[in-house]
Amino acid sequence: MDPFYRVLTINCPNCGIHLVRVAQTAHLDFAVCPSCMAAGVYEEVVGDPARLTARYALPEAVKEFVSRLDRQ
């Protein structure tokens, strides 16, 4: 089953596009940029978008899901 997601009003500092929040019951909530895949823990990125990390070690399922969003 696909995880819950929501487009955020926070922009990626690298691409300027909106980040996506991805929530999975087995994992933390993540904030992810669908373009460059920079990511971070949602709560931390909401407080400070500079906490977004390039090549963040996202769970494989989250990575796949977000890369599929980018292609739609």
Interface residue list for Zn ion (CB under 5 A): 12, 14-15, 33, 35-36
Helical H segments across 1-72, by residue range: 42-47, 60-71
Q: How far is the CB of 49 from Zn ion (least distance, A)?
A: 11
Q: How far is the CB of 47 from Zn ion (least distance, A)?
A: 18
Q: How far is the CB of 24 from Zn ion (least distance, A)?
A: 21
Query: Is the separation of the CB atoms in 10 and 21 below 8 Å?
Result: no
d(CA 42, CA 52): 9
Nearest CB to Zn ion, comparing residues 3 and 45: 45
